[in-house]
Amino acid sequence: MVTVLFSNAQSRYTNGDTSIQVDAKRVDQLVRLLVERYAELEDILEHAAVSVDGVIHNDALYVPLPDSVEVQFVGAVAGGSGEAVSEALLSTSSNVLREAQVWLEAGRSVAVATVIETWGSSPCPAGSQLIVDADGHFEGSVSGGCVEGAVIEKACEVLAQGEPAILEFGVADEEAWSVGLACGGRVKIYVEQLL
Amino acid sequence: MSADTNEGQERKFKRIGTRPIRHDGLDKVTGRARFGADYALPGMLHGVMVRSPYAHARILSIDISQAEKVPGVRAVVTRDDFPDVPIGWIPAGSTGVDLGANARTVMAREKVLFHGHAFAAVAATTELAAREAGKLIKVEWEVLTPVLSLEQALAKDAPILHEGQETKGDHPTPEGDSNIANQVCFEGGDIAAGFEEADVIVEGHFETPMVHQGYIEPHACLANVREDGTCEVWCPTQGAFGVKGEVASIAGIEPSLVKVTPTEIGGGFGGKIPVYIEPVAVVLSRKAARPVKITMSREEVFRGSGPTSGSRMWARIGAKSDGTFVAVETKFDFEAGAFRGSPVGAACMTVFSPYNCENFRIFGRDIVLNKPRVAAYRAPGAPIGAFAAESLIDELAMKLDRNPIDLRIQNAVAEGDRAKYGPRFGTIGFKEVLEATRSHPHYKAELGPNQGRGVAAGFWFNAGMQSSATVSVNDDGSAVVRTGNPDIGGSRASMALMCAEELGVDVARVRPLVGDTDSVGYCDPTGGSRVTYATGMAVIEATRQVVDHLRARAATIWDIELDAVEWQDGNAVAINGSAEKGSMSLEDIARKMRLTGGPIVSSASVNPPAAGPGFGVHVCDLEVDPETGVSKVIRYTVVQDAGKAIHPTYVEGQYQGGAAQGIGWALNEEYLWDAEGKVENAGFLDYRIPVASDLPMIDTVIVEVANPLHPYGVRGVGETPIVPPLGAVANAMRHATGIRFHRLPMSPPRVLDALDSDGASS
């Protein structure tokens, strides 16, 4: 067994997992097992340098993994190249619906929240989307953070009850201040379950 | 080659650690050494690059008909003579390359993206004719608004350099086309709670200018494409195999037809990894059917090659009143120049990794704008980030009334601690280096009036990567060691020393050579502080194989078992039951090679993991003239962990050279731009790098904490020395003047302004 640690940026593709145990004897085997589990990690894993107990291998595919080592996939730094290839550089598109598909394929129930109307100053334009699973894991944004919490809460209800909902947040609402929409705008959000 | 062969700690070396005169020394001091511009062939033409008068313009059409008519002109080339290589990152293992961007850097295609961007080239019988012809090339331009600052690049309605370039990287990323090429974010713990918990917070906005590597030898190359399609290139480069690959892709030639010979090289510092003129000389030679030589002027070097990023940074540190760091945070914006690829990622990885702190958020953005495309420069990105971090740590020490070295020791990482980019550190020597600095006489020396002392720290990763070496024995018992790594900092002497140590012969009996791409095994570039570590490992491995051959030959001569022969300091010694045979020297065995199986030659190739971090701490004493704002470094000491110094003189040379470059960056160096994005100081008269008379003798201390990944403990030393100086000089300036400078360079006019306005404009 080896322990794999994921960075915050990587944990976007691991359902939030930051550490897992995997039974793998070599890096290629480990990558195969991780991709089976987290499909979206593939690009990152294939092109990252690999740290095995702190020793960083640039070309790691066939590097053996002794029992109980700690493994991380990190940006490769070739001193001369000038570019640290972070996992970020190689991460896949930001399309939340693509992500939603991955979640669905993994057997998770997914709700999508879509901004359908805005007025005045609102951080995300109509069409912006946020996806939420039953455990409250989310991806994307409908307000840059202002009302995310309330939307996620509602999305969990939508998943539990199966009924879509339209949410409105505006500066006139008392609730707007409490949920954080302090910028003076108004936003209407449609929340539905993806099937 | 792994930990079980490591002797770095225990082994008694005979030759490692001595200071023999470098093998190339005589040629260098007598002027016989042949650098890029010294190569010539019969019938050779002179090539010149034709460069853009605009910082940002679309090329609608190019008419070369008048230029071709100039007497003596044999070839004029433009984008139409080069294959259209698509833009895009091509991963290769864990790194990669954007050949399309590289091709467009060499020869503009759709647009020119910076003032001085080459869009055509001419080869003629004289350089004068080529220059005249260059002026007659007619271009229909659609002049575009140039993006000349980070502010302009990030503005809402900013002109977009690359249509279709979306921001990659860590989220949230902006929607649609953007001049932000990439975002990097490393996070851990709870940043808000961390700052909540802090008793003291220091923060600041910092700026550093775009600066050039300043290598003394301008780029030069000679290319010859022959009738059979084979192609030879001679050029000063950090990696001949890299040039071979880039020439093949950019000029459109089969790689197997290209042979690159690295010439002697007058400095590179990362800036001679990319190609600028080599593919162009090849295309000109192909078109003209003659050898073509291109030599860049210093002005062209400034306008068209290098540099490293300018930056705009914000950082803050939260600490407990006892000095323990509880939260660190950064936002870095780095100028990439014309194409993506600033070293902001490495800056983020290095900036706070020397210090333990659970709660952190390190964020950086890679931003394109209409300035020259950045190239690697010695520990790319790390000095820039360290300038911000080490300035703030100095502020924190003052706020807490703490000794700045003690404060660093308190927070310093050691083996087992985690870097901000994830992995735990292996065996490192940061605390040893800090302690050696604290006990150095310099640190205790008295200061005079208008003088201040600054301390700063930093590290670099030190790469591994691929290397090959071949060792052959001559019939007089001397040896030749051949590698593919151009010697920039004395590596030939180090390769010879490692070979001599294993063979047990005087280093003068080992001749080190740098081969061309057809005569040595593959080597990644001389860069990443990797050569003494990785190529040295290949040399040791190949020499050990040679020693096994020598033992076997002795066993044959004596007619005994191989196991009964030991190698002891240049001699085969019979042991066990055969001790009566005595010993046989390397010379004796070599003389009989013909009788015992023929020549002895061994090769080894390696691709080891990264060598691991080397830490350095610098102490700078600065004296500032309050009347003029002129500052002078009066004493400077570099303390750094080398793992094991193979040739201490060249280790010290790296320490001194990195410090000198960093001092220049801190005090004087910067590109000055006009309103249209033209560099106004494209020469060493106005772009002021330090010269010998500007600096004191830089003192050095080599700390040796053996690296378990190398058989002798080598760590790599070339890049770390440029990481601390920006902070060390700024901290010295703070203590000499009472003013904290957040913007580099701290040139005399700026210092004077700040003194006159009581620090308000710093």
Q: Which CATH number is A23's domain given?
A: 3.10.20.30
At B605-617, the pLDDT tens digits run: 999 999 999 999 9
Res B331: pLDDT: 97
Chain A's closest residue to B306, CA to CA, is A82
Of A178-187, B56-65, B117-126, minimum mean pLDDT range: A178-187
pLDDT surpasses 90 at A101: no
User: Residue B677: what are its φ and ψ, rounded to 5°?
Assistant: 90, 25
How far, CA to CA in Å, does B33 sit from each of A8, B36, B41, B97, B486?
52, 10, 17, 33, 14
How far, CA to CA in Å, does B555 sit from each of B551, B562, B567, B575?
6, 5, 11, 11
The domains found in chain B, sorted by start residue, are 12-33+464-606 (3.30.365.10), 403-456+610-756 (3.30.365.10)
B677: closest CA of chain A, how far (Å): 23
Specify the DSSP class assigned to residue B609: P
B525: closest CA of chain A, how far (Å): 8
Put simply, the answer to whether B94 touches A85 (Cβ < 8 Å) is yes
Final residue of a domain: which of A74, A107, A124?
A: A74
End-to-end CA distance of chain B: 52
Q: What is the mean pLDDT of residues B638-662?
A: 98
Final residue of a domain: which of A26, A43, A74?
A: A74
pLDDT surpasses 70 at A93: no
- Are the CB atoms for B231 and B325 separated by under 8 Å? no
A111 and A40 co-located in one domain: no
Residue A86: inside a domain: no
Residue A89: inside a domain: no
At B737-757, the pLDDT tens digits run: 999 999 999 999 999 999 999
Res A90: pLDDT: 31
Residue A138: inside a domain: yes
Res A85: pLDDT: 38
Put simply, the answer to whether A72 touches B423 (Cβ < 8 Å) is yes
A137 and A185 co-located in one domain: yes
Cα angle B271, B272, B274 (rounded to 5 degrees) comes to 90
At B311-323, the pLDDT tens digits run: 999 999 999 999 9
A41 and A102 co-located in one domain: no
- Are the CB atoms for B703 and B432 separated by under 8 Å? yes
Chain A residue numbers with beta carbons less than 8 Å from the beta carbon of B188 are 8
A58 and A101 co-located in one domain: no
Residue A154: inside a domain: yes
pLDDT surpasses 50 at A188: yes
Number of domains in chain A: 2
| DSSP-derived 3-state class of residue B552 | helix
Show which residues on chain A lie within 8 Å of chain B, measured between beta carbons: 5, 7-9, 12, 46-51, 53-60, 70, 72, 74-86, 88-91, 94, 141, 144
User: Residue B61: what are its φ and ψ, rounded to 5°?
Assistant: -160, 155
Res B377: pLDDT: 97
pLDDT surpasses 80 at B270: yes
Cα distance between residue B560 and residue B531, in whole Å: 39
Q: What is the mean pLDDT of chain B?
A: 96
Cα distance between residue B284 and residue B134, in whole Å: 14
Residue A80: inside a domain: no
A109 and A68 co-located in one domain: no
State the residue range of the domain holding A175: 96-194
Q: What is the mean pLDDT of residues B220-239?
A: 97
Nearest to B170 among A9, A59, A78 (CB): A9
Task: Using pLDDT thresholds of 50, 70 and 90, give the confidence band for residue B562.
Answer: very high
Chain A residue numbers with beta carbons less than 8 Å from the beta carbon of B462 are 79
pLDDT surpasses 70 at A54: yes
Q: What is the mean pLDDT of residues B358-383?
A: 97
At A148-164, the pLDDT tens digits run: 888 999 999 999 988 89
Residue A81: inside a domain: no
A13 and A52 co-located in one domain: yes
Pairing type for strands B118-124 and B45-51 reads antiparallel
pLDDT surpasses 70 at A91: no
* Contacts of residue B473, Cβ cutoff 8 Å, sequence gap at least 6: B479, B546, B550, B586, B590, B593, B599, B600, B601
A6 and A37 co-located in one domain: yes
pLDDT surpasses 80 at A173: no
pLDDT surpasses 50 at B714: yes
Cα distance between residue B4 and residue A59, in whole Å: 22
Q: What is the mean pLDDT of residues B79-101?
A: 84
Nearest to A57 among B184, B343, B609 (CB): B609
Res A79: pLDDT: 38
Q: What is the largest CA-CA distance in chain B?
A: 88
Put simply, the answer to whether A9 touches B461 (Cβ < 8 Å) is no
pLDDT surpasses 50 at B575: yes
Final residue of a domain: which of A74, A107, A130?
A: A74
A42 and A103 co-located in one domain: no
Q: What is the pTM of this model?
A: 0.86
pLDDT above 90 covers a percentage of chain B that reads: 94
Q: What is the mean pLDDT of residues A72-90?
A: 50
Residue A90: inside a domain: no
Res B68: pLDDT: 97
pLDDT surpasses 90 at A47: no
Q: Please, what is the angle between helix B382-399 and helix B648-667, to 10°?
A: 80
- Of residues B380 and A186, more confidence is placed in B380
Cα distance between residue B379 and residue B351, in whole Å: 12
User: Residue B753: what are its φ and ψ, rounded to 5°?
Assistant: -55, -45
pLDDT surpasses 80 at B759: no
Res A77: pLDDT: 57
Put simply, the answer to whether A77 touches B375 (Cβ < 8 Å) is no
A70 and A117 co-located in one domain: no
A35: closest CA of chain B, how far (Å): 17
> Can you say how many angstroms the Cα of residue B525 is from the centroid of all Cα atoms in its chain?
10
Task: Using pLDDT thresholds of 50, 70 and 90, give the confidence band for residue B91.
Answer: low
A60 and A149 co-located in one domain: no
Q: What is the mean pLDDT of residues B98-126?
A: 97
Q: Determine whether B26 is exposed, middle or buried from the number of CB atoms within 10 Å of its CB (0-12, 13-18, 19+).
A: exposed
Res A194: pLDDT: 87
Chain A residue numbers with beta carbons less than 8 Å from the beta carbon of B172 are 141, 144
Mutate to test the interface with A, among B2, B94, B165, B311 (most CBs of A within 10 A): B94
Nearest to A79 among B94, B527, B612 (CB): B527
Res A183: pLDDT: 62
pLDDT above 70 covers a percentage of chain B that reads: 98
User: Residue B193: what are its φ and ψ, rounded to 5°?
Assistant: -65, -35
What the block records as the tokens of A54 is 């702190």
Chain A residue numbers with beta carbons less than 8 Å from the beta carbon of B170 are 9, 86, 88, 91
pLDDT surpasses 60 at B1: no
Residue A173: inside a domain: yes
Chain B residue numbers with beta carbons less than 8 Å from the beta carbon of A70 are 423-424
Of A65-79, B189-203, B741-755, minimum mean pLDDT range: A65-79
Nearest to A56 among B188, B238, B423 (CB): B423
pLDDT surpasses 60 at B375: yes
Nearest to B530 among A79, A90, A144 (CB): A79
Chain A residue numbers with beta carbons less than 8 Å from the beta carbon of B607 are 58-59
Beta bridge partners of A168: A188
Sheet holding A138-140, edge to edge: A138-140, A129-133, A110-119, A186-194, A165-170
A114 and A190 co-located in one domain: yes
Q: What is the mean pLDDT of residues B49-78?
A: 98
A13 and A59 co-located in one domain: yes
